Amino acid sequence: MVRSRETSAPSKMSESTASTWVTVSNPQGMHLRPAGSFAQTAAQFSSRIEVKKDNQPADGKSVMDLLTLAVSGGEKMFISAEGPDAEAAIEALAQLVENGFETNRQSETTEITDEGS
């Protein structure tokens, strides 16, 4: 997997940027499943998406990159998007994080009520 610095050169007319701060609300932090949900949601947009914690950057579409940020519950991160659908991407990602990374209702509760854990 090569992380490219190039954007796919859409017309300058449609380029835009958007960004926001979000607080990771779920107590477990951005562990593997949340990072996976984030990267999957980010991948639905053509904009380039970057996530930063303490100025450390990560590619928002890469699970491995996101995991290197080790964002704990209650910590803030900065999401920025650049591309034709930047605003829609930021809106969707901010909502995802605020909802505790739940793309469907079942996942986090299943783990907590899991008899083995």
Task: Pick one of 68, 76, 95, 99: the residue that binds other proteins (CB under 8 A).
Answer: 68
What is the gyration radius of the CA atoms in the chain, in angstroms?
15
Q: Is 52 in the site for other proteins (CB under 8 A)?
A: no
Task: Pick one of 63, 88, 92, 94: the residue that binds other proteins (CB under 8 A).
Answer: 63
Q: Pick from 85, 73, 79, 76: which is nearest to 14 by CA?
A: 85
Catalytic residue positions, numbered: 31
Q: Is 72 in the site for other proteins (CB under 8 A)?
A: yes
Report the residue number, 9 or 112, with the smaller CB distance to other proteins. Answer: 112
Binding mask 10-39 vs other proteins (x if CB under 8 A, - otherwise)?
A: -----------------xxxxxxx--x---
Residues 75-104 that bind other proteins (CB under 8 A): none
Residues forming contacts to other proteins in the complex (CB under 8 A) are: 1, 27-33, 36, 63-65, 67-73, 107, 110-111, 114, 116-117
